[in-house]
Structure 1
Amino acid sequence: MTSQIPTTPSADQIRRAPKVLLHDHLDGGLRPGTIVELARAQGYDALPETDPDKLGIWFREAADSGSLERYLETFAHTCAVMQSREALFRVAAECALDLAQDGVVYAEVRYAPEQHLEGGLTLEEVVEAVNEGFREGERQARERGHRIRVGALLTAMRHAARALEIAELANSYRDAGVVGFDIAGAEAGYPPTRHLDAFEYMKRENNHFTIHAGEAFGLPSIWQALQWCGADRLGHGVRIIDDIEVADDGSVSLGRLAAYVRDKRIPLELCPTSNIQTGAAASYAEHPIGLLRTLHFRATVNTDNRLMSGTSMSREFEFLVEAFGYTLDDVQWFTVNAMKSAFIPFDERLAMINDVIKPGYAELKSEWLFQQSAATSDSSRRTG
């Protein structure tokens, strides 16, 4: 796409731009202060820090290890304080509100119900508490002048044996706030093919699912997720770059799997900061998203775990703007890609694109043009 606005957007413009988020973990986005308060109320005394600021730093440093397995260990603390209806409701409401205040207009937030049963809740009670929390967060956002819609993705842990049960749960709540299914957890040793019965069930029910694949593990993980399991999207999928060759003269050739992913417009839920933390990319400037955007893959930008990565959607785009010189047109391109790939009905996706996203970017671009015109006029007066 040829850029019409030849400048990089400011941090304020990025924050105000309507954004779409497809890959965000509920238990990876808690406010540090909330963790401290919930831990105190529940008698959980294993937190490494009890000062919210210091705790936030601890999570980021612990996650910044280059190891996916070490990164996943940080979730023991967040899950530990999410074992009651009240805690789940609060965390979900704060999640929706935080995203809305960052300019996110549509989000799909995932969590594993099976990880929130230690306090005696049933799977159904977990889902209902989170759904009610999202609705409350949406309401609070509206009161503050923000618009957001949040859909839930129910996740099964790939090392466990409850995938079919969670898939059935996702299907039973598909008209009550749950928009799809996912599997997550360490990839090595736990291929998605272990859960074929769950994916086959979702396909029979004409329902949507994404699979964490191509993050810590490579092309075989992506191939299995697509060809054996039939995933609608790839959670991360960053390692598709391993099937793309760039010659010394700059020419690019795609392997058959990469070509298939691009040809079929399979969405990639890319999470730049998280990918750097887990060693899937060396830096923002070297992140495969740059090449994938140039080659017109269905690339999307996501946060993964806002707490562990110390990030937000605005920060992710700020990093990419700095690394690749992206303009508002590029930010809009990623946003429309994400909205096209959402797990809600086509007419609702189209309405979000035409009624919310495109007008939002048009307003920002008009604002920029006005500022440029005013600056030019002011310069002419001073030099005239």
Structure 2
Amino acid sequence: MTTEAFANPVSADVPFDIRSLPKVSLHDHLDGGLRPATIIELAEEIGHQLPSTDPVALGAWFRDSADSGSLVRYLETFDHTVAVMQTRAGLQRVAREFVEDLADDGVVYGEVRWAPEQHLAKGLSLDETVEAVQAGIEEAIAAVEESGRHIQVGQLITAMRHADRGQEIAELAVRFRDRGAVGFDIAGAEDGFLPSRFAGAFTYLAEQNFPTTIHAGEAAGLESIQSALVDGRALRLGHGVRIAEDIEVEFSPDEANEADLGMVTLGHLSSWVRDRGIALELCPSSNLQTGAIAAWGDSVEQHPIDLLFQTGFRVTVNTDNRLMSGVTLSSEFELLVEAFEYDLDDLLALTLNAAEAAFLPLEEREALVDYITEAYTALR
């Protein structure tokens, strides 16, 4: 176990446009990032009934439904988005707009996670769904390049943890490793469905030297994280916020610094995650909405992200589902600046954490780090 000091951050102003900063997005669901107007148009084409056919009202419905404090209800909103993503044209359009919206928010590298097995209702094969999404990604990248900007995007092929297609989806991911797929994930109802359920698939992925990031430590706690690391060989933890359950903090007043000084004690699991640089894909607004941080409070200011960041965890900032949470990566950074008074150095550190954890070859990660660092340096 590890014990060390922890202090509240010092106030600092942020006199720059966060949206203009280069960003890295590692945890962003394709079926959670649709434009409301697109949902309406695609739903009309297939005769799917929506709560509203007004884009503003529909967007508000998604946000209100997601802001319930329940992961189960949060996941129910996906019934509508998945419904309009069952054709090649629908998948391609959604993927194209998804990447365009990332680029408009200043993202220069993104990983799009989604579950092909959820998009077979209209007769597409698994391979055809991946091909359609890749076509949309490549269209968007070309359009972004034509506008004088740059973005790189990879697919995180995801298996639903309550289903029985883990091996099949793992093989699909490996099959597309040179055609857009950069990693594997499991998602869906976490509580009661440990990563050990797919132990065979994860062994196959390890044998194929294919990276995994696993949803763990969101709706379930330390046992889920342990299984992700042991059974899933996870290189990153999707959310992972509940690793803070393995951290003890004792605060005492520090009158000299006019702040609280805390002694932080890490357990064996949290020490392992921190000391080996296993990235935490934290999603502040989503973690609040789904109740993932209920043990610590009911506001962003009480999110353990700052504790994790200050004690040396490889914290990354993400959106999870932009539509449901009504956020962008820029707005998530703005939340943290307001809540914890982060400055430019803090935002750079968080962004570099994400760049260094990206599922890219070493040379490309180094180039991404250099690009981001140079952009921040230019602001000083």
TM category (shorter chain) comes to: over 0.9
Q: Deviations over 1:219-246 (max 9, x none)?
A: 1110111122211110000001101100
Deviation, 1:6, is 8.1
Give, in whole Å, the separation in 2 of the partners of 1:105 and 1:7: 26
Give, in whole Å, the separation in 1 of the partners of 2:364 and 2:353: 15
- The aligned counterpart of 2:372 is 357
Q: Deviations over 1:256-302 (max 9, x none)?
A: 11111111110000000000000112211111110111101011000
- The aligned counterpart of 2:267 is 255
- The answer as to whether partners of 2:116 and 2:157 remain within 8 angstroms in 1 is yes
- The aligned counterpart of 1:181 is 184
Structure 1 position 169 matched with structure 2 position 184:
no
- The aligned counterpart of 1:277 is 289
Q: 2:141 aligns with which of 138, 142, 165?
A: 138
Deviation, 1:248, is 3.0
- The aligned counterpart of 2:202 is 199
Secondary structure of the 1:9 match is coil
Q: Deviations over 1:98-152 (max 9, x none)?
A: 0001000000010000000011100000000001100111111122332111100
Q: Deviations over 1:164-223 (max 9, x none)?
A: 101100001001111010000011111111111111110000110111000010111101
Secondary structure of the 1:364 match is coil
Structure 1 position 52 matched with structure 2 position 64:
no
Report the AA paired with residue 50 of structure 1: T
Q: For the aligned residues, what is the CA RMSD? A: 1.2
Secondary structure of the 2:251 match is coil
- The aligned counterpart of 1:266 is 278
Secondary structure of the 2:184 match is strand
Secondary structure of the 2:302 match is coil
- The aligned counterpart of 2:3 is none
- The aligned counterpart of 1:39 is 43
Residue correspondence of structure 1 range 5-84 to structure 2 within 5 A: 7-10=12-15, 13-44=17-48, 46-84=49-87
Secondary structure of the 1:247 match is strand
Give, in whole Å, the separation in 2 of the partners of 1:309 and 1:52: 15
- The answer as to whether partners of 1:179 and 1:344 remain within 8 angstroms in 2 is yes
Deviation, 1:352, is 1.0
Give, in whole Å, the separation in 2 of the partners of 1:343 and 1:8: 33
- The aligned counterpart of 1:310 is 326
Structure 1 position 111 matched with structure 2 position 123:
no
Structure 1 position 240 matched with structure 2 position 236:
no
Identity rate, percent: 59
Report the AA paired with residue 320 of structure 1: L
Give, in whole Å, the separation in 2 of the partners of 1:284 and 1:146: 32
- The answer as to whether partners of 1:17 and 1:364 remain within 8 angstroms in 2 is no
Q: Which sections of structure 1, spanning at least 5 residues, go unmatched?
A: 366-384
TM-score (structure 1 length as normaliser): 0.92
Report the AA paired with residue 49 of structure 1: S
Give, in whole Å, the separation in 2 of the partners of 1:248 and 1:351: 41
Give, in whole Å, the separation in 2 of the partners of 1:8 and 1:227: 42
- The aligned counterpart of 2:257 is none
Give, in whole Å, the separation in 2 of the partners of 1:283 and 1:339: 27
- The aligned counterpart of 2:361 is 345
Structure 1 position 230 matched with structure 2 position 245:
no
Q: Which sections of structure 2, spanning at least 5 residues, go unmatched?
A: 1-9, 253-261
Report the AA paired with residue 18 of structure 1: P
Aligned pairs, number: 358
Secondary structure of the 1:223 match is helix
Secondary structure of the 2:300 match is coil
Greater fraction of residues in strand: 2
Give, in whole Å, the separation in 1 of the partners of 2:292 and 2:159: 23
- The aligned counterpart of 2:7 is none
Q: 1:297 aligns with which of 313, 331, 335?
A: 313
Secondary structure of the 1:109 match is strand
Give, in whole Å, the separation in 2 of the partners of 1:139 and 1:106: 14
- The aligned counterpart of 1:328 is 344
